[in-house]
Amino acid sequence: MPSAGRLPALSLPLVLALTAALVSPLAHAADRTPSARSALPSFISELTERRYDGRSDDLLTAGLGFAGLRGPMPRAADPDRPTAAELRRQAVWASAGLSAGSGGGLGRLYGPDVDRGRPVSGDGKVAGVEYRAVAGSGAHSVSFVVQVPDGFDRARPCVVAAPATGLGGVYSMVGTAGAWGLHHRCAVAYTDKGMGPAFDDPHSGTVMGYDGTTGPRARLHGRTAFDAGLSDAERARFDAEHPYRVAYKMAHSGMNPQATWGRDVLRSIRLALAVLNRDWRAGAPGGGYTPASTTVLTTGVSNGGGAAVAAGEEDRGGLVDAVVASEPQLNLAPLNGVRVRQGGRVVPAAGLPLIRYNALASLLQPCAALTEPTAPGYATLDVPAARRRCAALVGDDPRRAGMPNGRVRTGCRASPRRPWCAPDSSPGRGISRSRTTTRRRPPPTR
């Protein structure tokens, strides 16, 4: 699963599938009444609207243009107190991924600066209106953003629903699916699926607002993206017993946002249709923007792909015309009556809970990373800590595996082929011969 800081651009097959889906709209459900068309959905608790002129700021590049997206991350004037606009600009910059270079064709064959395999002319800035909305509050909150470009095709209206990938924030798909939708004159609906970054610091009383800004709980009251739900007395007691702990929404909300991924994507679509109907303009369909008149695509990558699939499965009102998902992260139901074999062995389960995958990766990745010193990001690896992790998992030398009583013929010397060994190892040193290969110590606490 990709990280929130660097998100994969839409692959070429995914781009082609999106194009095919847009060209071939499917049948829709019946129209709604005019009064229902103009009202906001009842689940929306907060809605803000902002117009971007396409020069100083815009929908696709946050005012940076393609050149700015390829450059370093834009900095806040005051790094300790970034504004909502500065945080939005950084999120949009990260979603594009262009600063990582053109490896694999990004920025040349596909990406926010490419449309139908050809470079997009101009600086890439897209003027239009952006709506930001929230459903629920605190631990129950879900964030939405709808972007409507000035060039929105009102004769052939379309909406691209792009739920966030991974644990990313609501803007994490702007540079991928969002770029595709805006290039094709569609409105784009984003949601963080209730999993966006948010925290509560009991020690300082600092919390995060819906727009990413932080401040005292009292000042952001009613606009906090997450609250630990403790009274003042409980906070003081907890901070005294466990100082400098921080509660995070994903880990400590007590919610199961994955169970409502499909619902949240469908809600983002309903919100998009609602704001289109509120902003009535010449050329709009006579019956309004409804499932009958508007082509709707859902698309996503990893967790976002799983959310897009879930939306298609849960759609009972004819909202969704097509689902295009890349590497969707899905937890399937038990394989009742189905047997899966891989390499002659029966696969006992179709998948594990996401937390199990994260725990396994956290356990093994530091050790595995030592084997690829030329890999991107290796310079930031804590090599001594990674070597300690390897030693805790398999001992000083993994060649002991399968040897009687964990014995080895030689010691463990550090080399490019044995990066797990400590540099000062020599024959017979650093090896506990009393340990067996079946014993596993827990990884060291750092």
Contact (Cβ atoms closer than 8 angstroms) between residue 271 and residue 189: yes
Phi/psi at 47 (nearest 5 deg)?
Answer: -140, 130
By CB atoms closer than 10 A (0-12, 13-18, 19+), residue 73 is exposed
Q: Which amino acid is at 391?
A: A
Q: Which amino acid type is present at position 143? A: S
- Classify residue 334 as exposed, middle or buried by CB count within 10 Å of its CB (0-12, 13-18, 19+): exposed
**Interatomic CA distance for residues 368 and 360, integer angstroms:** 12
Q: Alpha-carbon distance 48 to 268, whole Å?
A: 15
Angle at 87 between CA 129 and CA 212, to 5 degrees: 95
Residues in the chain: 446
Q: Give the span between the Cα atoms of 169 and 163, in whole angstroms.
A: 9
Q: Look up residue 373 and give its DSSP letter.
A: T
Return the residue matching tokens 């097509």: 322
State the distance between the two ends of the chain, measured CA to CA, in whole angstroms. Answer: 24
Tokens of 37: 């068309």
Which residue reads 């725990």 in tokens?
Answer: 359
Is 302 marked active-site?
yes
User: Coil, strand, or helix at residue 217?
Assistant: coil
Marked catalytic residue, from 141, 172, 253, 302: 302
Give 143's strand partners: 134
345 vs 23: CA distance, rounded Å: 43
Rounded to whole angstroms, the Cα distance separating 139 from 74 reads 30
Q: Kindly report the backbone phi and psi dihedral angles of residue 51, in degrees, each rounded to the nearest multiple of 5, phi listed first.
A: -100, 140
Which residues have a catalytic role annotated?
A: 302
